[in-house]
């Protein structure tokens, strides 16, 4: 069964709201905020933590959003969600560059290697998803949530998170499952596309942070 290229008119409103809140454009910022406030990085002055998180939000959220708006203006994409698989490679390539840039910049700001590699893992997962998307519409939402879950698991295993490993893992899995459900309800993806996205993101980010 193939997922529809557009959301069904009967899709519940809450599913779209949750999909927007956990958009792939926002996940790197959530990951950065977690790193800044639940790891030893919390000892950094709050102003510096806020600035670093804002920088990540601009690079990985605002820049790709502006590119999508530009592509939409030139009718290269139909909508902000980029519903059509054939229109996804260019925005996804932009996201790869933005993730890599964010990792480089936070490194310049003195971020530890494990945090820089989170962005490296996100860039790798998005690059692989881009190639997969040429043939099959893997879910970018669950790829991003899977990456965030992989990050939380790795932080817990490293013993640098203030939150218990089982709590972090449970929250990550529940969020990923919830967003996968919204994508199914919206008719954007099949179950296989959401599951594979989550596995791709989680594996890439976890392994990258192990390096």
pLDDT tens readout for residues 39-97 = 999 999 999 999 999 999 999 999 999 999 999 999 999 988 898 999 999 999 999 99
Are residues 164 and 184 in contact, defined by beta-carbon separation less than 8 angstroms? no
Are residues 41 and 35 in contact, defined by beta-carbon separation less than 8 angstroms? yes
Tell me the backbone φ, ψ of residue 123, rounded to 5 degrees.
Answer: -65, -45
> Does the structure show a pLDDT above 80 at 211?
yes
Are residues 131 and 83 in contact, defined by beta-carbon separation less than 8 angstroms? no
Q: What is the pLDDT of residue 3?
A: 61
Per-residue pLDDT band for 6 (boundaries 50, 70, 90) equals low
Examine residue 123 and state whether it is found in any structural domain, yes or no: yes
Residue 9: count of CB within 10 angstroms of its CB: 6
Q: What is the pLDDT of residue 163?
A: 84
Per-residue pLDDT band for 128 (boundaries 50, 70, 90) equals very high
Are residues 106 and 53 in contact, defined by beta-carbon separation less than 8 angstroms? no
Give Cβ neighbours of residue 192 (< 8 Å, ≥ 6 apart).
none
Per-residue pLDDT band for 169 (boundaries 50, 70, 90) equals confident
Tokens 């959401």 correspond to 194
Q: Which of 165, 162, 151, 167 is nearest to 204 (CA)?
A: 151
Q: What is the pLDDT of residue 4?
A: 55
Q: How does the average pLDDT of the chain come out, rounded?
A: 93
Examine residue 6 and state whether it is found in any structural domain, yes or no: no
Q: Which of 8-17, 80-89, 175-184 has the highest mean pLDDT?
A: 175-184
Can you give the residue range of the structural domain that contains 31? 13-210
Structure tokens at 143: 């790829």
Q: What is the pLDDT of residue 2?
A: 52
Q: What is the mean pLDDT of residues 152-173?
A: 89
Examine residue 140 and state whether it is found in any structural domain, yes or no: yes
Examine residue 27 and state whether it is found in any structural domain, yes or no: yes
Least confident range from 24-33, 76-85, 189-198: namely 76-85
Examine residue 48 and state whether it is found in any structural domain, yes or no: yes
Q: What is the mean pLDDT of residues 179-190?
A: 96
Examine residue 56 and state whether it is found in any structural domain, yes or no: yes
Per-residue pLDDT band for 11 (boundaries 50, 70, 90) equals confident
For the chain, the domain total comes to: 1
Are residues 161 and 149 in contact, defined by beta-carbon separation less than 8 angstroms? no
Give the whole-number percent of the chain exceeding pLDDT 70: 95
Please tell me which residue, 104 or 81, carries the higher pLDDT value. Answer: 104
Examine residue 8 and state whether it is found in any structural domain, yes or no: no
Examine residue 91 and state whether it is found in any structural domain, yes or no: yes
Per-residue pLDDT band for 166 (boundaries 50, 70, 90) equals confident
Judging by beta carbons within 10 Å of its beta carbon (0-12, 13-18, 19+), is residue 149 exposed, middle or buried? buried
Tokens 């989550």 correspond to 198
């Amino acid at each position: 069964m193939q997922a529809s290229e557009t959301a069904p008119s009967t899709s519940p409103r809450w599913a779209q709201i949750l999909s927007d809140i956990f958009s792939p454009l926002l996940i790197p910022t959530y990951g950065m905020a977690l790193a800044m406030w639940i790891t030893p990085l919390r000892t950094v002055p709050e102003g510096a933590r806020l600035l670093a998180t804002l920088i990540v939000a601009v690079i990985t959220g605002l820049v790709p959003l502006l590119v999508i708006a530009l592509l939409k203006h030139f009718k290269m994409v139909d909508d902000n969600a980029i519903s059509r698989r054939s229109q996804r490679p260019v925005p996804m390539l932009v996201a790869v560059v933005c993730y890599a840039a964010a990792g480089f910049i936070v490194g310049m700001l003195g971020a530890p290697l494990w945090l820089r590699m989170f962005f490296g893992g996100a860039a790798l997962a998005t690059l692989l998803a881009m190639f997969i998307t040429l043939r099959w519409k893997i879910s970018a939402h669950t790829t991003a949530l899977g990456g965030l879950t992989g990050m939380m698991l790795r932080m817990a295993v490293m013993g640098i998170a203030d939150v218990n490993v089982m709590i972090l893992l449970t929250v990550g899995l529940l969020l990923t499952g919830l967003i996968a459900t919204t994508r199914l309800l919206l008719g954007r993806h099949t179950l296989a596309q959401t599951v594979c996205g989550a596995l791709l993101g989680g594996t890439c980010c976890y392994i990258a942070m192990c390096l």
